[in-house]
């Protein structure tokens, strides 16, 4: 049976990933070949050997002259996918915390045609083998996921997993300006305001390097929580007219 695959872009933001980028790209390319997927790497100002390693792989590269943040990389990814005429874009990290072996599961969900956003969840199926999450990350994720669900009637279980598939044509009409790790807070509010059909897909919870940092003062959990909440509340105020009534309660 010949499957008529949509055009799928696999987008991978990287920043100083010389230890893992070669392995990740090699494995991603192997899976992508099955559905004729193309690969885009957003190099967010790497200062190690990452750019040299990227040059050895047949991938498209957007390079930032300086580190501009995770959210900016996501914006570039979505703009590129729309401009180049892709039907879908799958985002994944390059630190080996997202398994390329999960790519076929995202493609299966894409082919079902029932969603505009397929969001990976590390907490949807606790029976999957996985690593325990650092306590502060799990706590902040749980708190903000619950707040998003309560205000936006979303019903998601993991607000911060970056392993996602986006329908390019609908996401191209969203307007993002958050450059940092608080980008998901802006994204979820706009996705709800736009009426995107959302599906979750269980993925393994993997933590390879427990020393990785957020930077920009976000390694302090209380500071990170405050920044994320402020971004969510600001976006709710911006989109209030297109959101459920309960979203704006208490944010006037």
pLDDT value at residue 210: 66
Q: How far apart are CA 154 and CA 63, in angstroms?
A: 34
Give me the residue label for tokens 């309960």: 246
- Return the domain boundaries, the chain: 8-248
Is pLDDT at 248 greater than 60 in this prediction? no
Q: How far apart are CA 7 and CA 246, in angstroms?
A: 38
What is the length of the chain?
252
Instruction: Name which residue leads in pLDDT, 2 or 152.
Output: 152
Over residues 74-90, the mean pLDDT reads: 97
Q: Find out whether 46 and 14 touch, Cβ atoms under 8 Å.
A: yes
Structure confidence at residue 197 as a pLDDT band (50, 70, 90): very high
CATH architecture for residues 8-248: Alpha-Beta Complex (3.90)
Q: How many CB atoms lie within 10 A of CB 93?
A: 19
Q: How far apart are CA 158 and CA 22, in angstroms?
A: 28
Is pLDDT at 183 greater than 80 in this prediction? yes
Give me the residue label for tokens 């979750």: 200
Give me the residue label for tokens 């392993």: 163
Q: What share of the chain is helix, strand, coil (3-state, %, to 5)?
A: 40, 15, 45
Enumerate residues 6+ apart whose C-beta is below 8 A from 111.
3, 5
Decide: helix, strand or coil at residue 216.
coil
Is pLDDT at 252 greater than 70 in this prediction? no
135-152 and 183-193 helices cross at what angle (nearest 10)?
Answer: 20
């Amino acid at each position: 049976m010949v499957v008529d695959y949509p055009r799928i872009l696999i987008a991978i933001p990287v920043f100083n990933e010389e230890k893992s980028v070669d392995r990740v790209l090699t494995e991603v390319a192997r899976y992508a070949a099955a559905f004729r997927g193309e690969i885009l790497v957003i190099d967010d100002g790497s200062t190690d050997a990452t750019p040299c390693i990227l040059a050895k792989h047949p991938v498209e590269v957007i390079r930032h002259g300086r580190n501009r943040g995770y959210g900016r990389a996501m914006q570039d990814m979505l703009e590129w996918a729309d401009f180049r005429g892709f039907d879908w874009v799958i985002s994944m990290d390059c630190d080996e915390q997202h398994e390329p072996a999960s790519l076929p599961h995202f493609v299966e969900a894409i082919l079902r045609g029932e969603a505009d956003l397929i969001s990976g969840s590390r907490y949807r199926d606790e029976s999957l083998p996985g690593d325990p999450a650092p306590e502060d990350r799990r706590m902040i994720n749980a708190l903000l996921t619950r707040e998003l669900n309560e205000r936006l009637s979303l019903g998601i279980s993991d607000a911060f997993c970056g392993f996602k598939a986006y329908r390019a044509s609908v996401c191209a009409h969203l307007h993002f300006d958050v450059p940092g790790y608080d980008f998901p807070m802006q994204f979820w509010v706009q996705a709800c305001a736009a009426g995107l059909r959302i599906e979750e897909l269980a993925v393994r919870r993997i933590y390879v390097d427990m020393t990785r940092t957020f930077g920009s003062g976000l390694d302090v959990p209380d500071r990170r929580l405050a920044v994320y909440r402020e971004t969510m509340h600001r976006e709710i105020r911006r989109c209030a007219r297109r959101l459920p009534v309960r979203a704006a309660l208490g944010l006037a």
